[in-house]
Structures are given as C-alpha cells and as structure tokens.
Amino acid sequence: MSIPPHVLKTVPLFADLTPQEVTLLEQHCRLRTYEEGQILFTQGDAITSLYVLCQGTLQIFRDTQTGHEVTTDILIAGDLLGADDMLNAVETHTSSAKAVDKTILVDIPALWVRQNFKSFDRLGEHLLEYVSKRLHQAQTEREQSITMTAPQLIACYVQRLCFLYGFDPKGFDLPYKKTLIASRLGMALETFSRSLEKLSDHGIIISGNHVSIPDIEKATTFVCSECSINDVCENHPETKSQF
C-alpha cells in the first residue's frame, strides 16, 4: 500500500524533514498492515527494511531452546524497528517481531536507507538519538532488575504506561495482556500475579485489567526508593502532574 499524503509528517522521526525530503521518502516507502498475532519477521531473517510504527503495538522477542518466548521490548506508535541493527551493520534480525494488535507500519527498504542516509540533513541525527535513548532505557532496566523488587518493577512499569500513553493515573485499562507485561519484565506469571496483590499497600490498585493510582505520592516513593535515576526520570513527574 502506498503512503497517503502527509502521513510521514505525523511521525516524530520525520517531523522536521523538508517537503522535498518527505516526497522522496514517500516514493520509496510502503504502508503495511499486520493483524493481531501476525509475525513480521523471525530471529535470523535477513534485514530488508526499517520500520516506523504508526499505529498499534509490537512484541519484540526471542525464543529459548525450551520453546519459551522472552520479550525484550514492546513498541508503540512512533517507535522504530530495525534502527539499531542497521546502524550496527547487522545483516540479520537479532529478535523476532509480532503484532500484539492491529498494527500499521511504514516500511522503508533497508538498502535504500543505507544508500541515501546522507541525503537527509536530520534523519541520521534522529536515528542516532533514538537508538541512544533506547540503549539508555535498556541499561536503566538492567540496573533496576538488580536493585528493585518485583512489585517495584511492576509499579514503575505501570507509571511508565501513564507517560507513554497519556493515561490518567486515576483510572485506566492496561493496553496489553498481563502475560505480555510479565514477559517484558522478565517475570514468571506466578511471581507477577503475587506481586500485583502487594501493590495496594503502596498506592496502586489493579483489578482485572483496570489500574488506578489513588495515592501518587505513596506509589512514587515506593518505586523511586531503589532507583538511581529517580531525580531525572521522565515517568514520575509526568504522572504526578496529571493530578
């Protein structure tokens, strides 16, 4: 499917491209739609495209030798898929990707991106900024997995959802299944379920798929007490400001 006019300008990565650059991109991009459960590619497949997520949610995962899926990331609208592999000159995908719900992506041929990378004044800069931000997030998560308890990790993730989706902390529904969130946090489902029961003591109530944070101060104190970046974290001030 060809790209409708002005779609690229709604994507943060392309927001400040010139009209001529947007037109050039539109001529080489395709809009692709994936239904829930569809696989975009699997680990080891050749990298053929840089993807920009316009709508929906993607699960990035690896399969263990015992057949379990290990979720390494969950991507939402505005995120890029394949940027880090391309910048590292990797030829095959290091993970698999699956649509969590109906997903629409901009598909840009990888070969074309490599050949025309320098023709766009800001595109390379934006790609590097994006990959750097994701690497920083991954480093922070590794540290948190060591210093924080399972309930703290879940509480932090719930507050991050408020930031990412603009949810009202007073009440919102989880955007994806608990099994996916547990996998993303590297927890067994049993550990995840037991930890949910403990959150009500810390200002967070999760009932079924519904979340409410009636005591944001208590929840933030609980989450931040074992986090080394609490003074610069974007999640908690954003969440707090919505009250």
Per-residue pLDDT tens digits for 37-95: 999 999 999 999 999 998 999 999 998 888 788 999 999 998 999 888 777 778 899 89
Rounded average pLDDT over 173-190 = 94
The Cα 141–Cα 78 span in angstroms is: 21
Task: Using CB atoms within 10 Å of the CB of residue 43, give its burial: 0 to 12 exposed, 13 to 18 middle, 19+ buried.
Answer: middle
Which residue is it, tokens 């379920």?
193
The Cα 133–Cα 137 span in angstroms is: 6
Q: Which two tokens stand for residue 29?
A: 């991009």
pLDDT value, residue 238:
46
The Cα 241–Cα 243 span in angstroms is: 5
Using alpha carbons only, give the angle 196, 180, 101 rounded to the nearest 5 degrees. Answer: 130
Helix residue ranges per DSSP H, 43-122: 83-87, 110-116
pLDDT value, residue 123:
77
pLDDT value, residue 236:
53
Q: Domain extents for the chain?
A: 8-127, 142-240
Q: What percent of the chain has pLDDT over 70?
A: 90
One-letter amino acid at 203 equals G
Contact (Cβ atoms closer than 8 angstroms) between residue 17 and residue 123: yes
- Count CA atoms closer than 13 A to 69's CA, side-chain side: 17
Instruction: Answer whether residue 243 shows pLDDT above 60.
Output: no
Residue 230 pLDDT class (50, 70, 90 cuts):
low
Write down the CATH number for the domain with range 8-127: 2.60.120.10
The Cα 14–Cα 22 span in angstroms is: 8
Instruction: Answer whether residue 4 shows pLDDT above 70.
Output: no
CATH architecture for segment(s) 142-240: Orthogonal Bundle (1.10)
- Residues 6 or more apart whose CB falls under 8 angstroms from that of 19 comprise none
- Count CA atoms closer than 13 A to 169's CA, side-chain side: 26
Residue 112 pLDDT class (50, 70, 90 cuts):
confident
Residue 206 pLDDT class (50, 70, 90 cuts):
very high
pTM of the model: 0.85
Mean pLDDT, the chain, rounded, equals: 86
pLDDT value, residue 6:
65
Instruction: Answer whether residue 96 shows pLDDT above 90.
Output: yes
Q: Which has more confidence, 136 or 200?
A: 200
The Cα 75–Cα 73 span in angstroms is: 6
pLDDT value, residue 222:
92
The Cα 113–Cα 89 span in angstroms is: 12
